[in-house]
Structure 1
């Protein structure tokens, strides 16, 4: 990477058309890291090569991009897999870097998480998750714990995770809220947080085993047999993950995320102290995300409307966990 000008390719500066390139924040250029992708700058309507693939990034490069007030650098679409690997490998360093604005860190976290979650929920892949996916998801969640516990992080993440009806987007939303609530009372137990985070992300993975149309209709329009199929998805989810060395807490999250504090949930009808506190948190955050995302043929509700609806369900949700959720949303200015 040159010190004062874009890289040269032979006698001329390389120029690219706008098609086939996607923008990323210049803050993603991490000093002392090698990018397995080329970087381009936009000059007018053309894209000029700035850094060759495999170049070592330095503090000087980040400072120069800042001084030039560069809003985006660009990467070839064909290099996205290399950038995605780079992002995952350096995510913890990115999230802990206070030089990077929280919004840009939230964007990086969302990009990394969406790529993993989308892969895990891809119906074209084998019916069971493989260990590679499991290890990558566990590593990502472990790297994210401190960042997700911050009020300002939750506020910025809400800009990226609020929309979309896909299962993986719902899983991401539930994971973020579940870890945020757990962080308010679970201290110094990263193993539990990671295990519950995995359960939250994957809680609906059993739905991949069922016809899509079941989940696009309101519950009151379904036959008894169709309702029975829907109620089977927690157990199916455990089956999808059966080949993985998942902690007990993760499996409990997948199996019991539709249980209620008053025993009216499924599949077991467990209630009260029979349910671990983290399952109660997940059940609550699952319902909150369902309502604010407008899933299952329902109108998308505001946070206030969703919390009001949840309060009206009386004994279904744990009062202490609901109070914690409300406090977290309030501090993050999301209500």
Structure 2
């Protein structure tokens, strides 16, 4: 299989991985043949990348971080409970029936079980579906990514539960902000921006008295936009005043926002987002956290098309946990862009003089041999 930007897809290509609906249900299954109308529709619905079949990479299997069952259950609970709060604007602090702790704890147990069952699991792109409401998928993504980083940091299951709940609910305050403001495509006015920033404080007050939701999870919602140098909001706290969990969530929140399709811009690829995050080393994010993050993220996702500095092009077919930024590339085209009769693989973790020069930049790479 190959990972292609939707704008590089062509009629006749066949899907190699499922496309999910907003509810986490399977919208398009493997083997579905793409048409021009289907490609256009997927693009309109916010699908930026798809996995397509290619006989030259037929042996490539891209694992999912969480199971289809977990994805569906999580998105259903996030959607149902968040929309219930959207229907009750200006909700006061303290619980109102139904309590949200039970369903979200069930989701977290499923997420933790899925992630801990995988050895050397890498942080992979999860945005392979229709995005009608960014808030729901984003909440799940940040939860899964943060939990994976918590596992890498040696957290106990109870610590993972608190971190994961804080991550899943970090943006719950946005349920108290008007949908028109959340989905505005143009620049926000000063007043609108100030209103948007209030979601952090509102999230804290929604969660702080909720039965069986740890108070620390409420503080994650409160602090996830705070930054090391005090430039964040809502309180401008800095350094050790910000809880470690909130620092993780703030980092992952930024990463997922960069790599997701938004109504006002196209997504970045992981290597671009990681590079952008590193510009905030020591000012916005802790260096040790960025290093752990970089060591766990698939900077060049499996299946992505890359060009080497030699001029040859190919597909990332393996990622070594010990060196994720130096993947194994199956070279498919020579420097002239001609398909090789005998593709070969280059392990960049051992071939240190070879570098990736670009990703998904040559439209000729959208042509899939034998499809």
Which TM-score bucket, shorter chain as reference? Answer: 0.5 to 0.7
**Does residue 1:200 correspond to 2:167, yes or no?**
yes
| Aligned CA-pair RMSD | 3.0
* Structure 1 counterpart of 2:176, from 201, 206, 209: 209
Aligned residue for 1:301, secondary structure, equals coil
Measured against aligned partners, the alpha-carbon deviations of 1:277-299 in whole angstroms (never above 9, x if no partner) come to 11111000000011111336232
C-alpha distance 216-103 of structure 1, shift in aligned 2 (>3 A): closer
Structure with bigger strand share is 2
Measured against aligned partners, the alpha-carbon deviations of 1:274-330 in whole angstroms (never above 9, x if no partner) come to 112111110000000111113362321111111112122341111111111111113
Q: 2: CA distance between counterparts of 1:175 and 1:166? A: 14
| Residues 218 and 298, structure 1, Cα contact 8 Å, conserved in 2 | no
Q: 1: CA distance between counterparts of 2:263 and 2:224? A: 16
1:67-216 map, 5 Å:
103=64, 106-123=67-84, 125-127=87-89, 130-149=97-116, 150=118, 158=126, 160=128, 165-187=133-155, 189-216=156-183
| Residues 226 and 233, structure 2, Cα contact 8 Å, conserved in 1 | yes
Q: 2: CA distance between counterparts of 1:258 and 1:211? A: 20
- Greater relative contact order structure (CA < 8 Å, 6+ sep): 2
1:81 aligned partner? none
Q: 2: CA distance between counterparts of 1:234 and 1:264? A: 15
| Residues 237 and 255, structure 1, Cα contact 8 Å, conserved in 2 | yes
Structure with bigger helix share is 1
Aligned residue for 1:261, secondary structure, equals coil
Give the greater-gyration-radius structure (CA).
1
Aligned residue for 1:316, secondary structure, equals coil
1:326 aligned partner? 294
Superposition deviation, residue 159 in structure 1: 6.2
Aligned residue for 1:203, secondary structure, equals coil
Which residues of structure 2 form unaligned runs of 5+?
1-24, 27-61, 303-324, 326-371
Q: 2: CA distance between counterparts of 1:286 and 1:136? A: 22
* Paired residues, number: 235
Deviates more, 1:269-278 or 1:145-154: 145-154
C-alpha distance 277-241 of structure 1, shift in aligned 2 (>3 A): closer
What TM-score, normalized by structure 1, do the two folds share?
Answer: 0.62
Measured against aligned partners, the alpha-carbon deviations of 1:103-143 in whole angstroms (never above 9, x if no partner) come to 59621111111111111211564455645432111122023
Which residues of structure 1 form unaligned runs of 5+?
1-22, 25-100
Aligned residue for 1:236, secondary structure, equals helix
Superposition deviation, residue 234 in structure 1: 0.8
